[in-house]
Amino acid sequence: MEASIRLHCLANAAVAAMTQSATIRRLPAPPPDFPMLRGIPLSETDGNGPVPLLSNRQRQELASIAARLNVPRRTIVYREHTPAESVFIVAHGVVKAFRDLPSGKRPVLAFHFAEDIFGLAENGFYVNTLQAVTDVSLFRMPLEVLTETLAGDAQLQLQFLVKVTHELRESQRHTIAIGRRDAVGRVASLLRTLADNTARAEQSGTIDIPMTRSDIAGYLGLSLEAVSRACRRLEQSGIVNFVDRHRAQVRDRRQLDRLASAY
Q: What is the tens place of the pLDDT at every residue in 19-32?
A: 333 333 444 555 66
| pTM of this structure | 0.84
Q: Which helix (H) or strand (E) holds 228?
A: helix 224-236
Confidence of residue 204 (pLDDT cuts 50, 70, 90): confident
Q: Decide if pLDDT at 45 tops 80.
A: no
Q: Is 42 helix (H, G, I), strand (E, B) or coil?
A: coil
**Around 122, how many Cα atoms within 13 Å sit in the side-chain half-sphere?**
4
Domain 181-261: CATH architecture, name and number where available: Orthogonal Bundle (1.10)
CA distance 150 to 61: 10
Find, among 219, 221, 213, the residue nearest to 242 by Cα: 213
CA distance 152 to 38: 22
The residue ranges of DSSP E strands in the chain, in sequence order, are 38-39, 51-52, 67-71, 76-78, 86-92, 95-98, 108-112, 117-118, 129-132, 136-142, 206-208, 240-244, 247-250
Of the given ranges (5-14, 106-115, 212-221), which has the lowest mean pLDDT?
5-14
The pLDDT of 63-75, averaged and rounded, is: 97
Phi and psi (nearest 5°) for 141?
-120, 125
Q: Where are the domains of the chain?
A: 47-176, 181-261
Q: Which residues pair with 207 in a beta bridge?
A: 248
Cβ-based burial of 228 (10 A; exposed 0-12, middle 13-18, buried ≥19): middle
Find, among 148, 14, 142, 169, the residue nearest to 69 by Cα: 142
Phi and psi (nearest 5°) for 250?
-80, 125
Q: Is 108 helix (H, G, I), strand (E, B) or coil?
A: strand
What average pLDDT does the chain have?
87
For domain 47-176, the CATH class is mainly beta
Give the strands of the sheet with 76-78, arranged side by side. 76-78, 129-132, 95-98, 108-112
> pLDDT tens digit string along 143-166?
999 999 999 999 999 999 999 999
